[in-house]
Amino acid sequence: MCGITGWVSWTQNLSKQHCILENMTEALTHRGPDRDGMWLTKHAALGHRRLIVIDPDGGKQPMIYRNGSYEIALSYNGELYNFAALKKELMDNGHQFMSSSDTEVLLHAYLEWGEACIERLNGIFAFAVWDERNEQLMLGRDHLGVKPLYFANRGEDIIFGSELKAMFAHPEVEPVVDQQGLSEIFGLGPIRTPGQGVFKDIEEVRAGHYVTFKKDTRTEECYWMLDSHPHPDDLETTVSTIRSYLEDTVKQQLVADRPVVSMLSGGLDSSGLTAIAGNEFSEAGKTLHTYSIDFENNEKDFEKDFLRGDLDEPWVKKVSEEVGTNHKSVVLDGDELVENLLVPMRARDLPGVGEIETSLYLLFKEMKKEATVALSGESADEVFSGYPWFHQEEFLDADTFPWLMNMSGISDILSDELKGRLDLSNYQKERYQEALDEVPVLAGESELQAKQRRMSYMFITRFLPFMLDRKDRASMMTGFEVRVPFCDYRLVQYLWNVPIEMKNVDNIEKGVLRRAFEGYLSEDVRYRKKSAYPSTKDKEYLKRVQEWMLQILNDPNSPILPYINVEKTRLIAEGKDENLQGSSAKGLLDYLIQVNAWLVEYNIRVTL
């Protein structure tokens, strides 16, 4: 994994702009701590920071193809899991290779098929290609949006980067937030609109899309989207197909020249992937190392609720013993979480969800000591329709995103002036309607099935990008790569048309996945009820967050004050709001603290 950035201008000579490009590239050092690279020519300047995973010597970037009168340059972030098959096809077509890296395969794929090469890729990626033959820039992003990529049009120039901070290192890109950006921050929270960069005139390449730029034209193409059709397979065939996809993608995603480990929560998703990976390791005569996260005094403080039915650690231990992994549990305390609360915000360049992201970052930081790559069970609930919302009428019949129905805390504490200017309710409805209009409907479905398909689309195209982004940023902040087998686009497309009744066979969420893991996991592990990502119950953590928020409220220079109702927020920070207590109050305060720090640290200019 890496960080990419660059600058293209059809009117300026960029060949001497080393200083600006160096600043942009250095801003991404955390994404690629192993090596840097820059390439400048008259109209293009590409930068790269490399995290070495495959072919340490042969994968240097930017990678350049030279053919006498022209050059084609590639800066790429990601992993192509099918690069060996692509390489063979390209060699059969006469291409010659100097390395064993997937970067060179991608470059030659572009030479062979042009922009259409992206349709042949299976992996997680974001890349930029500058083609001198027609003075064209191509920006491409993977099917599900695992790897980030932003861009901004400034006059005759295009400036891009894996993260916003790389773009802010360019003098033409200022951190300005307008009415739409504030609507994203306060109306949608951390689960934002695809394509929206939040900052004024900054965009995000959407998942499954690529954008090409020439001097006077910009073209955006969707190369992949979900396709609705009747599911042709019976239950037995469906289980077998899912199992086959998972075995294949895990095997592909274990390929690396650096140590690979696995995340293990004791839940179905990570346990199943760990079992498949552990089997591959065992056949190679090796032992898989696994990691879980826990919190100090968690056993004592644990309270059963609708999200968490029991403790994870006993299940983690059981799966580790059954699979034969070398396991480490990373135990965090409240002080660590508070002290690192702002790190994920700095990784995202945007406010996030607080303590949950902080714990992920600290987990990856510990894993980085031993490895460079990890497998994660992220996205199984989205693609297997595993959340309770898929079966609850109040959410299926709602005219908004299901996660916004429980987000009233933010809108309730905003200042009257801000609410009057933004009309957040209408903004939320417009974004929801946009998503509805995209849903590929299937004729002949019942009303309930159609509603569940719409719900599935919301989670795959809106909620999942947020989950993937938080994992990418939390891991890459430590120079660590996380791979997500459940995001293999072949599996996602297949599952899109599997009826929910079949997904929930045996009258349990993700029942079809539980069957697919038969033989890999014991029955009690396979049929353990879903338990959400763990969260600290440490009362000291909440106390310190409340104190932090009170400090912000008591400082007249705090930039967040004009946007919130100070007195209502003070009641929450003092623990006196009867409607917002415990984890709900903690989540809201985490977010507001991040928003305030974001406004300060990024020196944001707000225009309303």
CA 38 vs. chain centroid, Å, equals 26
Pairing mode, strands 260-263 and 289-295: parallel
Amino acid in the structure at residue 321: E
Q: Using N-to-C axis directions, what is the helix angle for 235-253 and 268-283, rounded to 10°? A: 60
Token output for 80: 């192509």
C-alpha distances out from residue 510 to 96, 468, 489, Å = 45, 20, 18
Closest to 40 (Cα-Cα) out of 54, 68, 20: 20
The Cα 243–Cα 344 span in angstroms is 34
Amino acid in the structure at residue 50: R
384 three-class SS: coil
The Cα 147–Cα 399 span in angstroms is 30
533 three-class SS: coil
Catalytic residue among 2, 117, 222, 487: 2
Closest to 333 (Cα-Cα) out of 303, 314, 359, 299: 359
Token output for 123: 């992996």
According to DSSP, the residues that pair with 290 across neighbouring strands are: 262, 327
The phi and psi torsions of 355 (rounded to 5 degrees) equal -55, -35
C-alpha distances out from residue 295 to 166, 321, 330, 474, Å = 34, 21, 8, 18
Q: Which 8-state DSSP code applies to residue 173?
A: -
Question: How buried is residue 454: exposed, middle or buried, by Cβ count under 10 Å (0-12/13-18/19+)?
Answer: middle
CB 339 within 8 A of CB 541: no
Compute the radius of gyration of the chain from its Cα atoms. Answer: 24
Exposure of 39 in the CB half-sphere (CA atoms within 13 A): 20
For residue 75, the surrounding DSSP H or E stretch is: strand 70-80
Please state the length of the chain. 608
Token output for 471: 């994992």
- Catalytic (active site) residue 487: no
Q: Which residues are catalytic?
A: 2
